[in-house]
Amino acid sequence: MPLTPPFSQWTVAALDEYRHRLTEPHASPNRVPLGLYVHIPFCTERCQYCYYLSYTGNTRDQIDAYLDALLVELASYARRPALAGRMVDFVYFGGGTPSLLSPGRILRLLRGRAQSFPWNEVREVTFECAPKTVTLPKLMELREAGVTRLSLGVQQLDDGVLAKNGRIHSVRDVERAYADIQRAAFDVVNIDLMVGMVGETDESFHRSLDHVVEMEADSVTVYQLEIPPNTPLYCAVRDRTLEWNVPSWEVKRS
């Protein structure tokens, strides 16, 4: 299976070659898996460590305009010889905060996407959710539309740590959201955790981990905190406006 090139390789100079590849029918369309990533670049509030493309504030009109453009782009790609008629094997909706969308917008997005790239033979469809924006009506729309895997961005189950890192949800929000997710009965439920966050201690992280184990999710993904230069957290550390001993990679791995 071919690997997606790293971001550093997506250059203006490579655009012509990329466009040319799309004009050539795939030699083995039924043997090579096709994956689709759909980015939803909107959040209620940006986390201190986040380096992904995301917009906050009153974004209702922006969201509608973005969904319009996204569905037009998907339809355009579906007509290219390299992709025409191909079924997707897996789909991932990430962000940003995809669960910020209303139930109606979620339905519009998923139906529009399926018209361009049918997922009749899909093996997995993942949708990222943030605890504060999860509601049972949204979950039911996702389940009925064919989402098979839900990924809940918990990060840690400690209200103090969450607040210091700009996360807007609380432990109570996680528990409420998880209860609704269980009612919706997705095939697979994943919980995201993060290690090395501001205000974290060994004790607080292990309490979070114990709590997650008790929740009995199907899978748990643990990320190590990164501090890229374009984040508020990086600026706070650089300018010494935050008194915090940044944990080493060795500490985070242990």
Q: Where are the beta strands (DSSP E) in the chain?
A: 35-40, 90-95, 124-129, 149-155, 188-195, 219-224
Q: What is the pTM of this model?
A: 0.90
Q: What is the DSSP string of 9-72?
A: G--GGGHHHHHHHHTSPPSSTTTS--EEEEEE-B-SS--TT--S--B-SS-HHHHHHHHHHHHH
The residues, ordered by sequence, that sit 6+ positions from 28 with a Cβ below 8 Å of its Cβ are none
The per-residue pLDDT for 86 is: 87
The per-residue pLDDT for 119 is: 81
Mean pLDDT of the chain: 90
Q: What DSSP character marks residue 94?
A: E
User: Euclidean distance between the first and final Cα of the chain, in Å?
Assistant: 32
pLDDT tens for each residue of 13-43: 888 888 888 898 877 777 788 899 999 999 9
Q: Tell me whether residue 71 is exposed, middle or buried, using C-beta atoms within 10 angstroms of its C-beta: 0 to 12, 13 to 18, 19 or more.
A: middle
Provide, rounded to the nearest whole percent, the portion of the chain with pLDDT above 90: 69
pLDDT tens for each residue of 117-151: 888 889 999 999 999 999 999 999 999 999 999 99
Arithmetic mean of pLDDT, 157-174: 96
pLDDT tens for each residue of 100-126: 999 999 999 999 988 898 888 899 999
- Which residues share a beta bridge with 35? 90
The per-residue pLDDT for 249 is: 84
Arithmetic mean of pLDDT, 95-101: 94
pLDDT tens for each residue of 196-238: 999 999 999 999 999 999 999 999 999 999 998 889 999 999 9
